Amino acid sequence: MLKKREMRYKWEKYNWWTYCVIIAIAVFLILYYCYPDTEQDNARYILNAISQGLAAILALVFTITLVVAQMTRRYTAMDKIIFRPETILLMIIFGIGVVTPLLVLKRGFWGQSVNFSIAVAVFCVFSLLPFLKGVNGVLKYDIGIVNLDEEIMEAIELGYKPRALNKIRELNEIGESAVRESREDVISFISRVLSRIGMKSAEKKLWYVTLQVVYALKNIGLKSVEKGFKYNSTRGIVDGLRFIASKTLKEIEVSGDFKDAVIVEVLKGLSDIGVKAAEKGLEDIIKDVAEHLTYVGREGENKKALIWLWCLGAAVTKYMSGYDVDNVIRNIKELEETISGDWLPLTERLCKEQYPDLKDAFEEFKSRYKTE
């Protein structure tokens, strides 16, 4: 499965270059069969125009890339943008596209040399799209995340909530983009960044900022599970939610609506990710979610955690008949010992309200639970 995801990522990364090659070959074949010979005066004009045009485009692209690298305010930006393999390859191909028409003019090799020069020029022009897409990826993933991390931490330290919230939304958008492009390494990196931001904002009692971090982690986590990502990326997200909950619960001297909302959303986020993981058959994620819900419950939110553990058990019962449901039951019984009173009716009502599709599965799981 891991190799398949790696192959999918490599295909999504390089497929645009493949399309450029296909288009260039198609143009050459069309010219070869439809226009086998080119009149010399026309050939001279075409070759001269190709050489000048590609040289101008190459200079423009290099200038724009250099400006972008300087705007990142990073000393390593040149290595990541200018000297990356794709950029060097593009410049070599552009160099071939510029020099080839000049050699043809010098040597007078007409015929298919003209068609070849046109095909190379076509490839160079179309290759600007994957090149710029790659530059955009470097700016977003290799440089943008680091910059946003620093800016958010600085805003939290100074108490600038609006600025921190805007940057967190940008991180969330980058995370969504990484999921679409199957960049599990980026998702894992973003989860670590968001976890640090969430714990820092909780330490500073900026609960609304912490709440937005939880929303972002939950959103990226659900999309990652929907894509079928397993441990490398999604585990960091559920771990981050637990760390934020633990840090929030330790800040006992200050309470408030947003602080309580952080815990509620962490537990709901873990549950949503666990239910989606059950639907996708991701056992490792389910195990982590169950343990994290139990951990938060032991920290003082036993009733709330218990509700979502029951929902997780119902989801596992419905979607994963071969999974060890007893593992979830053990977590439930561990928290059950810390609770008094009849809590099951409330749990059943809330679970069925949040996950209507699990009504029948909830009853089946309840029967299984009573027999244990």
User: Tell me: the pLDDT tens digits for 236-262?
Assistant: 898 999 999 888 888 765 555 678 888
Mean pLDDT throughout 304-308? 86
pLDDT bracket for residue 93 (50, 70, 90): confident
Residue of 304 and 343 predicted with greater confidence: 304
Does the pLDDT of residue 9 top 60, yes or no? no
Among 74-88, 145-159, 188-202, 205-219, whose mean pLDDT is lowest?
74-88
pLDDT bracket for residue 199 (50, 70, 90): very high
> What range defines the domain where residue 314 resides?
138-371
Looking at the domain assignment, is residue 1 inside a domain? no
What does the buried/exposed string (b/e) look like for 293-302 if buried means 16 or more CB atoms within 10 Å of the residue's CB? bbebbebebb
Among 56-65, 108-117, 279-288, whose mean pLDDT is lowest?
108-117
Does the pLDDT of residue 110 top 80, yes or no? no
Looking at the domain assignment, is residue 50 inside a domain? yes
Looking at the domain assignment, is residue 109 inside a domain? yes
For residues 279 and 318, what is the distance between their CA atoms, to the nearest angstrom? 8
149 shares a domain with 94: no
What total of structural domains would you count in the chain?
A: 2
Q: What is the Cα gyration radius of the chain?
A: 28
**CA-based nearest residue to 213, from 273, 138, 274, 153:** 153
What pLDDT shows up at residue 169?
A: 95
What pLDDT shows up at residue 1?
A: 46
Does the pLDDT of residue 267 top 60, yes or no? yes
322 shares a domain with 231: yes
The CB density around residue 15, as the number of other CB atoms within 10 Å, is 11
Looking at the domain assignment, is residue 202 inside a domain? yes
Does the pLDDT of residue 70 top 80, yes or no? no
200 shares a domain with 82: no
> With contact defined as beta carbons under 8 Å apart, do 202 and 262 qualify?
yes
Residue of 246 and 39 predicted with greater confidence: 246
| First vs last C-alpha separation in the chain | 35
68 shares a domain with 163: no
283 shares a domain with 180: yes
**CA-based nearest residue to 326, from 334, 19, 192:** 334
- Name the residue type at position 137: G
Does the pLDDT of residue 2 top 50, yes or no? no
Residue % of the chain over a pLDDT of 70: 90
Backbone phi, psi, residue 322, to 5° = -90, 0
What pLDDT shows up at residue 196?
A: 93
Identify the three-state secondary structure at position 36: coil
Residue % of the chain over a pLDDT of 90: 20
Looking at the domain assignment, is residue 8 inside a domain? no
The predicted-structure confidence for 313-356, as pLDDT tens digits, reads as follows 889 888 887 666 778 888 888 887 777 667 778 888 888 888 88
Query: Domain ends where: 104, 126, 148?
Result: 126
Looking at the domain assignment, is residue 9 inside a domain? no
Query: Domain ends where: 61, 94, 126?
Result: 126
85 shares a domain with 154: no
What pLDDT shows up at residue 223?
A: 92
118 shares a domain with 165: no
Query: Domain ends where: 126, 160, 176?
Result: 126
Task: Record the tokens describing residue 194, joined without a space.
Answer: 């968001």
